[in-house]
Amino acid sequence: MKRLLTAMGAALLMVALVSGTALAKPSSSGNVIPGQWRVWNVNAAGTAYVPTNLTEKGFRFLSTPDTALLTTSTDKSLLGDLTGKTITATFTINASAGATFMYYGEPDACGTPASAHLYFAGNGDAVDWYSDYWFSNPLRATLTSAVGNTVTLTIPLTTGNWSDWGGELDTAVPSYFAAAVASVNEVGLTFGGGCGFLNGVGVSSGSASFVLTSFSVS
């Protein structure tokens, strides 16, 4: 199996398996070209997220469900101690007639359409790295809702709005969540569907491009 991102209980289990091997977590290090954003696609072997630096505010979805993240780790105005703040992302999708979104593992037991979630990562005091990576939950935006429309996700960095890579809700590990919020080093959006938040999406027919209109922390 190339990848597996499934739900366990009420929380989403963010575990990616490749023949029993965990998919490598994305790194926030590396050079970033002006524009400061990178899109992360799963490699052909399904073993790692590979970044591509962007010169524009968006990217084109692939014909395979491999696009998993859009992030920045260099825009300092969005990073640091974000305690008490709110993340807002505004975006649109330009698509051809008949464009159809898909996600890796479709269909699965959850059946959630291909969607975008807000995301941040921090250097917290968690006993493992799972609780350094957080995804908006339950709030999300389906990709079809953004076709030809402007969609805004506004989510406060407070408990009740996020779950971590290991599937734990922020309310279950509030100290780890608070530590990550106080030391954010990467922000952006993730793409997934069904039971996954970053299992990857693509278009099975037609073409579509994601445009990030604005991203702010206030």
Three-state helix/strand/coil letters over 142-174 = EHHHHECCCEEEEEECCCCCEEECCCCECCCCH
pLDDT classification of 106: cutoffs 50, 70, 90: confident
SS (H, E, C) 91-148: EEEEECCCCEEEECCCCCCCCCCCEEEEEEEECCCCCCHHHHEEEECCCCEEHHHHEC
Q: Report whether pLDDT(125) > 60.
A: yes
Distance of CA 31 to the CA centre of its chain: 20
pLDDT average, residue stretch 48-72: 91
What's the whole-model pTM score? 0.85
Report yes or no on 173 lying in a domain. yes
Report yes or no on 69 lying in a domain. yes
Most confident of 28-37, 40-49, 183-192: 183-192
Report yes or no on 1 lying in a domain. no
Residues 6+ apart with CB under 8 A from 188: 37, 69, 70, 71, 72, 118, 119, 120, 215
Query: Number of folded domains in the chain?
Result: 1
> Domain of 76?
6-217
Q: Report whether pLDDT(1) > 80.
A: no
Report yes or no on 151 lying in a domain. yes
pLDDT at 109: 83
pLDDT average, residue stretch 201-210: 95
pLDDT average, residue stretch 119-125: 86
With a pLDDT cut of 70, the percent of the chain lying above it is 83
Average pLDDT, the chain: 83
pLDDT classification of 55: cutoffs 50, 70, 90: confident
pLDDT at 46: 82
